[in-house]
Chain A
Amino acid sequence: MHTTSALHEADRLMTICNACRYCEGLCAVFPAMEMRFTFGDGDLNYLANLCHQCGACYTDCQYSPPHEFSVNVPETLARLRNDSYAHYAWPQALSGAFERNGLIVTLLAAVSTAAFVLGCVAFADRTALFSANAGDFYKVIPHKAMAGLFGAVALYVVAAFWMSLRAFWRDINGDGPNAGFAAFGRAVADTMHLTYLHGGGGGCTSEDDQPSPSRRIYHHLTFYGFMLCFAATCVATLYHYAFGWHAPYAIFSLPVLLGILGGIGLLIGPVGLFMLSRKRDPILVDTARKGMDTAFIAMLFLTSLTGFALMVLRDTPAMGILLAVHLGVVLGLFLSLPYGKFVHGLYRFLALVKYASERRQGKFVE
């Protein structure tokens, strides 16, 4: 009945877990499982995306390998989750991007960076590209070109997200009622707080089998770093169009301060996550697709690094090339958003909405 090995294995495990239920205090996955007797594809994709991969249920499980039941929920749900990203990708023709994600994202980043640099060399004003412009980016690349390109890419990315998330929600929600505002609010709080990256209080088994809060902390730095950088862009857009205040902005202006703060998060967070992922017990993760995680955090790190380089050197002749490199990296990041690790946050958010909504209906199977 299930078409993939991950779905098949997840069904087998959830059937065992549902008869045991010792892990129900660890996270949202197990209480959500308890609301079901049988597990269809949509249920399993929901549970897989509800899992935060903290690993607590593996170290606490009396049935984990070498037990003959061989219960390994974190690894199985990780594989299924990664499968689900490809399954719901839009357009479907690009679902293969999740298979060799590390390579594809790297190539995408390289090509878009090269395109920007070559594009600037070919089309921009040569003197502007290689001379000090007092931090005026638009002398190198006109504002209209920059805004037009990124605006078009952003529209495409939003459309791709919309199509994917809609299909995912239909699958996981089934015949369930639509989620209300309260469930939505609860999911926002759970996302901001990473409520389920706790292992029920102890933390993640990141470095070894001892629970520790480090992974959650680095994830917070990455997430809030990203959000602050996003806020910086929004504020700058508002400045430009609503108030007619054009870049470059002073160091102590709101967009730059937000960008600096966010950029610091995006430097420390990804490095921390990368170090932890190297130490993590491979039995807990989808080793075949680890490249996807690495590619995403590398892109975030490079975005921040090139952004800082640009800010520090914006009054020097290096600004032109640095701008091209930074924008190339950002474009690569943007284009890879629907086809990389970024989507984990979106699917997990919807899974949390579903969970909050189910809990409000209070349907537990005993």
Chain B
Amino acid sequence: MTAVPDFTEPFDVVVAGGGNAALCAAITAARAGCRVIVIEGAPEFYRGGNTRHTRNLRCAHDGTAPTMTGPYAAEEFLDDLYRVTGGQTDEVLAKLTVANSIQLLGWMDEQGVRFQPPLGGTLSLGKTNAFFLGGGRGALNDLYRRAEKLGVSVIYGSPVVALNISDGFFISAVIKRQGKQIPIRGKALVAACGGFEANIEWLKEYWGAAADNFLIRGTPYNRGDVLRMLHAADVMPVGDPTQCHAVAIDARAPKFDGGIATRLDSIVFGVVVNRDAQRFYDEGEETWPKRYAIWGRLVAQQPDQIAYTIVDSKSFHLFMPSIFPAIQAPTIGELATKLALRPASLEKSIADFNAAVRPGTFDHAVLDDCRTEGLAIPKSHWARAIDKPPFYAYPLRPGITFTYLGVRVNQESRMLLNSGAPSGNMFAAGEIMAGNVLGKGYLAGIGMTIGAVFGRLAGQGAASHAHN
């Protein structure tokens, strides 16, 4: 770890945040000869925000990378991005993201980040995504090591409590460190400190009391304080403030930081019912990963924000195991009792579903022809009667991954003010500006792509400003 820096001396570049985007910016600026400080609000163990829970980075490539199958052409990547966002993207920045993603593997490799070939359950992403060896925390360790070797000062447990900005020009950030407020002056600011998904009060502004039942998949430190300060300082917002990426996760997961291990892949193999033991959406509508991303919102809209995925023993070993044991019973009625649902209601829901199942050939790898007929809420694929005991259930809650609200940036990753004019010395990278590129939806690994591409641009921009 580096020694505590001299805070009285102004820095060339002040980086708020400590994840992938922040470190890409810090490393880039330090390599350009700048005196850089990384201000991480979280304690050292929790450093890196959502990066610590990521696993891979999406990038266009020509197929020669040893750890990827491929190739993945830039045009194809762009098509994927347009498809998931439904056009809610800044076309210029989207093209820039994809074009610059080609350099990322080589650049990351230079910084000491190690990759692995996809194995087991991740083979389907081997063409589009490069997997970090050991996952996101492994990549973070490599990036921090590199940053510290380059002389970047890193301080932990030091949230930014105020920004001193004058007419869209950054002057200093006030941090709270060991109970004391310390101003940190810098020639340029890179804001790379994520969204506000862990800020339940803020989520409540859009979701009401339902937000109390949300589980947050990342650390409790993703509070969006800097985002709010920037908006208050006349920086132009981007992205729908009411939107967040939510997946259905095990309701028994911790309130914060449960990460990847709390996900449940059982939904398509059975039915999902709400508190009233009623089905509420077509469980067989879509394949992964799209289905993965819609169920968080669906559960959030149910009473008490709770739902139960129910499968029988035919399907129990077809999906990834959960960290929490399945709730198990020999009959549907007993299962209902264990879940505190009305047995008669659940028995009826399952019986109605079973009666509507049409014969077909089950294949969970494709959109198969197993479907129901005559139900108000159909199941269009993978529909098989739930009739082979024992029966298993997992409780579901919305798991919030990230928020879409951010700050508007241009092609230099420079923040734009409400007037449309670019800021003189403020840059943004990562989730805090991802809404420019990803207006809605999600594409596996795109967060890391945006973070690295705009992190590098922000680092370059901040460095060249500091040198002038």
Contact = CB atoms under 8 A, between A and B. Distances in A.
B119 A31 contact: yes
A282 B30 CA distance: 34
A176 interface: no
A26 B134 contact: yes
Contact of A60 (B137, B254, B262): B137
Interface string B254-283: 100101111100000000000000000000
A202 B52 CA distance: 19
A162 interface: no
Nearest to B322: A19
B134 A60 contact: yes
A22 B141 CA distance: 14
A57 B135 CA distance: 10
- Residue of B135, B254, B259 ringed by the most chain A CB atoms within 10 A: B135
A63 interface: yes
Interface string A106-146: 00000000000000000000000000000000000000000
B120 A364 contact: yes
B121 A63 contact: no
B114 A201 contact: yes
Contacts of B233: none
Nearest to B319: A366
A1 to B, nearest CB: 12
Interface residues of B, number: 32
B389 interface: no
B223 interface: no
Contacts, number: 96
B317 interface: yes
B11 interface: no
Interface stretch (A64-72, A83-91, A182-190, A330-338): A64-72
A67 B45 contact: yes
Interface string A190-212: 00000000011110000001100
B321 interface: yes
Contacts of A67: 45, 257
Contacts of A217: none
Contact of B53 (A25, A60, A62): A62
Given A19-B320, A62-B53, A210-B145, A25 B133 contact: yes
Nearest to A202: B114
Nearest to B56: A22
B429 to A, nearest CB: 22
A21 B114 contact: no
B261 A57 contact: no
Interface in A127-174: none
Interface string A24-66: 1110000100100100000000000000000011011111101
A25 B320 contact: no
Nearest to A23: B134
Nearest to B263: A19
Interface in B279-308: none
Contacts of A37: 317, 321
A71 to B, nearest CB: 9
B317 A25 contact: no
Contact of B134 (A57, A209, A210, A366): A57
A200 B139 CA distance: 13
A95 interface: no
A69 B258 CA distance: 9
A18 B320 CA distance: 8
A57 B133 CA distance: 10
A29 to B, nearest CB: 13
Contacts of B119: 24-25, 31
B321 A200 contact: no
B74 to A, nearest CB: 27
Nearest to A66: B45
A19 B323 contact: yes
A37 to B, nearest CB: 5
Nearest to B132: A22
Interface in A2-25: 15-16, 18-25
A38 B447 CA distance: 33
B138 interface: yes
A21 B133 contact: no
B26 to A, nearest CB: 19
- The 6 lowest CB-CB distance pairs between A and B, nearest first, are A25-B116, A22-B135, A60-B134, A60-B138, A19-B261, A20-B261
Interface of A: 15-16, 18-26, 31, 34, 37, 56-57, 59-64, 66-69, 199-202, 209-210, 364-366
16 contacts: A18-B320, A19-B320, A20-B135, A20-B260, A23-B134, A25-B119, A25-B131, A56-B134, A57-B134, A59-B134, A60-B134, A64-B45, A69-B261, A69-B323, A210-B145, A366-B120
Given A201-B133, A366-B121, 18 more contacts: A16-B261, A18-B320, A19-B260, A19-B262, A20-B261, A21-B120, A21-B122, A22-B138, A26-B133, A31-B120, A34-B121, A59-B138, A60-B137, A60-B141, A62-B137, A200-B134, A201-B114, A366-B320
